[in-house]
Chain A
Amino acid sequence: MSKRKPYRREMNNDWWLKNIFYSKYMIREGSSIFITLYSLILAWGVFRLSQGEEAFNAWLSALQHPVSIVFHLLVLLIALYHTITWFSLAPKAVDLYIKGKPLDGKLIVAGHYITFTIVTIFCLIVIML
């Protein structure tokens, strides 16, 4: 008779705390919660704008509350973390060959940062004007 009795180890809910690589991944995934909240605030602003000047100004002054400023700084940090970690993964999803050689990953990452900078500056100019 077979004595086989394969043992299955359970994966605990804290699996992502046991290895720094997994923790960083979870922070990257978790950052989308904050980015969603941020977009909801923006969407709320658009909605208030549609209700007229007074409503929109109320929304603007609510944004000046210290809690709101701290929240926005936090979201900025988290969004930067998401961006940096995501850009560093970008070469894996790119399939470009130049003269039969795969394109150097560093160039792909650099391309992302350059595009990011140009778009950011463009948006800032549009907002300031």
Chain B
Amino acid sequence: MSTQATHAQQAVVDKVIEIEILRYRPEQDEKPFPQGFEIPYHPDMSILEALQYIKDHLDSSVSFRWSCRMAICGSCGLMVNNIPKLGCKAFLRDYYPQKVTLEALANFPIERDLVVVMDDFIKKLEEIKPYIIPERDEKCLSEGTYQQTPEQMEKYAKFSMCINCGLCYSACPQYGLDKSFTGPAALALLARYNRDSRDAGSAERMKIVNQEQGVWSCTFVGYCSVVCPKGVDPAAAIQLLKVESSKDYLIGMFKPD
């Protein structure tokens, strides 16, 4: 809290920035409404720090999620001027002197203020079997680890960087229109395991990929990859899975099993 205190002291003569938050308090509000705040402006202040300033000094009832403050826990996602961002990775200096509007992540139900209900997203991550399914189960510990070359790792490394922040679901109009779509992060995670040389679970996961709600709900808008704070590139993962799915289909035509 001490950094906030010094912020407050320095700020007396300093500039001010306007922050508008879409509030929603389920126990008293029928629907969300915007509330404006004015806080001292610092170029090195993140959106998350701005929210913490508001909570500490102006309105303690404002709710938002955060933990690591360094773009690794994935809990601080929100809409900044209608674009999905991590609050800890977006800075006031990129908006000042304009007003900043904050809203809960799009395409998710609002639990309270900036907190969303992520259950559907988590369920989808779990559904794609996000663990290595080895060729044979009974490999003994004494036989050592499963080994991999740097080249084999390169095949999936990018898709394994996801921090489950959900920004890509917020950026995806197909998910917005149809919540049954498996969606960008879950499909990227699926690709991450299918492309891992130690994994032998591809056939099981391709059943999810091949569904209408799998990769074929994606129309390649591509915004998921733009907003992703970790360079995961889910759009690429999905296009590569479409190629695999088409191969599956063609092979299935000739040797149905």
Residues of A within 8 A of B (CB): 3-9, 11, 15-16, 18-19, 21-22, 25, 29, 89, 91-93, 95, 97, 100-102
Contact = CB atoms under 8 A, between A and B. Distances in A.
Contact of B220 (A6, A19, A89): A89
Interface in B161-189: 173, 176-177
Q: Could you say which interface size class chain B belongs to?
A: 35 or more
A101 B106 CA distance: 36
5 contacts: A6-B111, A7-B24, A11-B107, A22-B223, A92-B240
B235 to A, nearest CB: 6
A92 B173 contact: no
Contacts of B226: 21
Contacts of A22: 173, 221, 223
A21 B64 CA distance: 27
Contact of B222 (A5, A92, A100, A102): A92
Interface of chain A: mostly helix, strand, loop or mixed:
mixed
Given A9-B106, A11-B176, A97 B27 contact: no
Contact of B26 (A5, A100, A102): A5
A16 B171 CA distance: 11
Given A5-B26, A19-B82, A100-B154, A93 B222 contact: no
A30 B236 CA distance: 22
B239 interface: yes
Given A3-B27, A21-B223, A25-B223, 17 more contacts: A4-B111, A5-B26, A6-B109, A7-B26, A9-B110, A16-B173, A18-B82, A25-B221, A25-B222, A89-B220, A91-B236, A92-B235, A92-B236, A93-B243, A100-B149, A100-B151, A101-B154
B225 A92 contact: yes
A26 to B, nearest CB: 9
Given A6-B110, A22-B173, A97 B151 contact: yes
A97 B117 CA distance: 40
A22 B226 CA distance: 12
Nearest to B220: A89
Nearest to B243: A93
A17 B24 CA distance: 25
Contacts of B111: 4, 6
A15 B173 contact: yes
Interface string B68-91: 000000000000001100000000
B223 A7 contact: no
